[in-house]
Amino acid sequence: MSLDWRKLPSLTTLRAFEATASEGSFAGAARLLNVTQAAVAQQVRALEKDLGVALATRQGRQVALTMAGHQLAATLTNAFTKIGDEVERTREDARSRGLRVTSSPFMAERIIMPNLRHFWQLNPGVEISLSPSRDYVDLVAEGFDLGIRSRHPDLRDQPGIAELDTIHLKKVEVVGIAAPELVVNYGSAPEDIPWLWHDGMSLKLKMMRTGGLDVDRLERVPIGSPNLLLEAVRGGIGMTLFTETLAQEELSSGRVIQIDIPIVIFADYVAVLPSGPQHPLARTFAHWVATLL
């Protein structure tokens, strides 16, 4: 049987009366509720008028409850205590629930996983579920709390970006990379070097055009899935674009070298969160990732 809210007095008046009963005065209730004493008294009188019965009478600075007041106060205290306990339990469940994060495979492998122990040191006991994906997933529909992505600064219509709460993490340079032997064979001009072509190229193609590359005249080497993209670059099969953050390890080791492109390209690393209720640690995790970039 559903509750008929139309028959209940205002919750504001019920709260004011319960606080008055528990504190023993309008002044004590006012301090508890952070309102004026006059406001509390007005709410209690409004409740008495609604119910058609006296609940409390002034006795100096104190308030004495009538028999009806005692009965109602006991019921309200019990009910509000149960509500408070359940609200706190719900909050605690939300804090202890595992954080579900989606990111690109390279971000997960190169940035998040090697440093995750540091996040756990700052937030002990937190369960992290990391799901690498190249696709922009529907966070709400698939139950994710947070997505970490890179995007072209001028691109606002990517699924999972525009309609969600977005936190800008860092602006990074996008660089061309290739194996040293590829440069020996083809030279250092990016439009003379074969380019790796793979599934899901829409964002990369936009970046390539932004970088002043004539995409239509590039020699293409199809590799299908981008899962082995770095291996293909290291193997001298072709060149590609990578954010400098994710390519830094390869560049520092000399396994690949940077190829200058006509116009410097930048990408934004962003965190996306559901615009409604959010995991208590979602923003904490996002800002922690920003420190790694």
- Residue 6 identity: R
**Pick from 107, 240, 104, 109: which is nearest to 178 by CA?**
240
Cα–Cα distances in Å, from 210 out to 152, 175, 253, 266? Answer: 9, 12, 28, 9
**Pick from 272, 268, 256, 265: which is nearest to 293 by CA?**
268
As a whole number, mean pLDDT of residues 60-69 equals 94
Domains, the chain, ordered by start: 5-95 (1.10.10.10), 99-292 (3.40.190.290)
Question: Is the dihedral angle over the CA atoms 174, 179, 184, 185 positive or is it negative?
Answer: negative
Distance separating alpha carbons of residues 38 and 30, to the nearest angstrom: 8
Residue 153 binned pLDDT confidence (cut-offs 50, 70, 90): low
Is residue 14 scored above 60 in pLDDT? yes
Q: Higher pLDDT residue, 248 or 162?
A: 248
3-state secondary structure of 24: coil
Per-residue pLDDT reduced to its tens digit, 160-187: 444 688 999 999 999 999 999 999 999 9
**Pick from 59, 65, 20: which is nearest to 39 by CA?**
20
Question: Is the dihedral angle over the CA atoms 68, 73, 74, 78 positive or is it negative?
Answer: positive
Predicted confidence at residue 157, as pLDDT, reads 44
Distance separating alpha carbons of residues 205 and 203, to the nearest angstrom: 5
Is residue 1 scored above 90 in pLDDT? no
Residue 228 binned pLDDT confidence (cut-offs 50, 70, 90): confident
Phi then psi for residue 270, to 5 deg, are -130, 155
Distance separating alpha carbons of residues 187 and 192, to the nearest angstrom: 7
Ramachandran area for residue 170 (φ above 0: left; ψ -120 to 50: alpha; else beta) = beta
Per-residue pLDDT reduced to its tens digit, 259-285: 999 999 999 999 999 888 888 899 999
Distance separating alpha carbons of residues 26 and 62, to the nearest angstrom: 7
Stated pTM of the model = 0.64
String of DSSP letters for 148-200: EEEE-TT----TTTTTSEEEEEEEEEEEEEE-HHHHHHH-S-GGGS-EEEES-
Distance separating alpha carbons of residues 82 and 77, to the nearest angstrom: 9
Predicted confidence at residue 152, as pLDDT, reads 64
Is residue 156 scored above 50 in pLDDT? no
Residue 47, token pair as written in the block: 């409740």
Predicted confidence at residue 106, as pLDDT, reads 87
Q: Residue 242: enclosing H or E segment and its boundaries?
A: strand 240-243
